[in-house]
Amino acid sequence: MKPTRFQLAAGVIALAVVALAAVFFTQGGKAPQEPAKVVKPALTVTAVTPRKVNLPLKLAANGNIAAWQEASIGAEAGGLRLTQVLVNVGDRVQKGQVLATLAADTARAEAAQSRATLAEAEAAAADAANNAARARTLQDTGALSAAQINQYLTAEKTAQAKVEAARALVQAQQARLSQTEVLAPDSGVISARTATVGAVLGPGTELFRLIRQGRLEWRAEVTSSELGHINAGTSVLVTAASGARLAGKVRMIAPTVDPQTRAALVYVDLTPVPGAPATARAGMFARGEFELGSAPALTVPQAAIVMREGFSYVFVLGPDNRVALAKVQTGRSAGDLVEIQGGLAAEARIVATGAGFLNDGDLVRVTEAQASAAAAR
């Protein structure tokens, strides 16, 4: 009699149960386990430890560039017409250079008149001197009274005084004639011009403004709490709004502090940095850094700093090569080094390269060559 389909199925199930039982007993009664998953490193990185180095101490400040000194150049002679203007804004001039000329016809005529007056006074003085000399010779003879003799002597002194007055007038007219040429009182750069050809000038009318010797200064605004770090002679590096870079030295510190802003002005003499564009101008805004020496600092490479949500972080390597995100406080920077002011132990190992591609808890691979180089530091 042939077995039925149900009997065949029951036999197959029984054989399967027997096989499973055999496997169970051969493995010591333990159920078979699934193979463990292999976690791959997220990135190959370089690890470093923080280094303690000396970093420069700098104090940043803002201010304006201004002329060291400005000279106002005006017309000394009044009532004369301006005939020539020989310079313009931006021109460099030398001390004594002619900047403008005034009409000299009137001054020449007045000078000639004063010389004629002097000649007349000298002739009158000579005649009075001769009369006084004759009176002196007749003084003992009684031919002239004492009053007459005194009159001749007084006339001599009066004539001599008129000569001196006429001579002074000649000098004044010569000075007025020389004032028809407007001269530069010092070397420098013309910063403003109001001179117009044809204008009749009054005495003291300003024609030009001159930046003396072409010197500029930076007037930095420094708070009263920071003044104690700055002294005369402190070096400064100034960057103007135009991008021009200038080296400077502190010349003086203002003796007073503004009671409204609690800031004082620090006056810095400027010189262009060799090779940098000379585009700094008086009136420009500028930012500068006072160099106050150096101090030790715990530093990490710039590439190790990760900015997230406005804060600075580094990835600290654990013993199992997993990284942990650590918030740090940064300070000064020099080249590719950044000062760590808090949040990181000096002996910690951190990710130096590739930190921007990592997340907290990632597994990383540190190459042996790079790891040994980092340890050597």
Quick: pLDDT tens for 243-294. Answer: 888 999 999 999 999 999 889 999 999 987 776 666 788 889 999 999 988 8
Please state, as a whole number, how many other Cβ atoms lie within 10 Å of the Cβ of residue 55.
20
- Residue 23 binned pLDDT confidence (cut-offs 50, 70, 90): very low
Average pLDDT score over residue span 216-233: 91
Residue 369 has pLDDT above 80, yes or no: no
Phi and psi based region of residue 112 (left: phi greater than 0; alpha: psi -120 to 50; beta: remaining): alpha
Give the model's confidence band at 222: pLDDT under 50 very low, under 70 low, under 90 confident, else very high.
Answer: very high
For residue 243, being part of any structural domain is answered with: yes
The DSSP symbol for 39 reads: P
Instruction: Give the residue-averaged pLDDT of 201-205.
Output: 86
Nearest CA-CA partner of 218 in 264, 255, 268: 268
Residue 194's pLDDT is: 92
Same domain, residue pair 345 and 286: no
Cα-based distances in Å from 127 to 150, 239, 327: 16, 76, 106
**Between these two residues, 191 and 13, which has the higher pLDDT value?**
191
For residue 87, being part of any structural domain is answered with no
Q: The domain spanning residue 303 has which CATH number? A: 2.40.420.20
Q: Based on the domain organization, do 222 and 286 belong to the same domain?
A: yes
142 backbone φψ class: left, alpha, beta (φ>0; ψ -120 to 50): left
Residues 6+ apart with CB under 8 A from 326: 313, 314, 315, 316, 343, 344, 348
Same domain, 171 and 110: yes
Residues 245 and 281 in one domain: yes
| 347, part of any domain | yes
For the chain, how many structural domains are there in total?
3
Please identify, among 133, 159, 179, the residue that sits at the C-terminal boundary of a domain: 179
Q: Which of 179, 194, 226 is the last residue of a domain?
A: 179
Q: What is the pLDDT of residue 12?
A: 53
pLDDT at res. 95: 94
Q: Among 113, 61, 106, which residue's Cα sits nearest to residue 83?
A: 106
Q: Residue 254 belongs to a domain with what CATH number?
A: 2.40.30.170
Domain limits at 335?
Answer: 45-54+295-376
- Taking the CB of residue 374, how many other CB atoms lie within 10 A of it? 17
**285 lies in a domain?**
yes
The answer to whether position 318 is within a domain reads yes
- Whether 288 and 315 map to the same domain: the answer is no
Say yes or no: 220 and 251 in one domain. Answer: yes
The predicted structure's pLDDT at residue 375: 40
The answer, as to whether pTM is greater than 0.85, is no
Same domain, 300 and 271: no
Same domain, 307 and 268: no
Residue 39 maps to a domain? no
| Contact criterion met (CB below 8 Å) for 301 and 78 | no
Residue 26's pLDDT band (boundaries 50, 70, 90)?
A: low
Mean pLDDT on 27-56: 70
The domain boundary, picked from 234, 259, 294, lies at: 294
Residues 253 and 302 in one domain: no
pLDDT at 370: 41
Find the CATH number of the domain harbouring 156: 1.10.287
Residue 231: inside a domain, yes or no? yes
Closest CA to 358 of 73, 42, 82: 42
Residue with the bigger pLDDT between 143 and 203: it is 203
| 277 occurs within a structural domain | yes
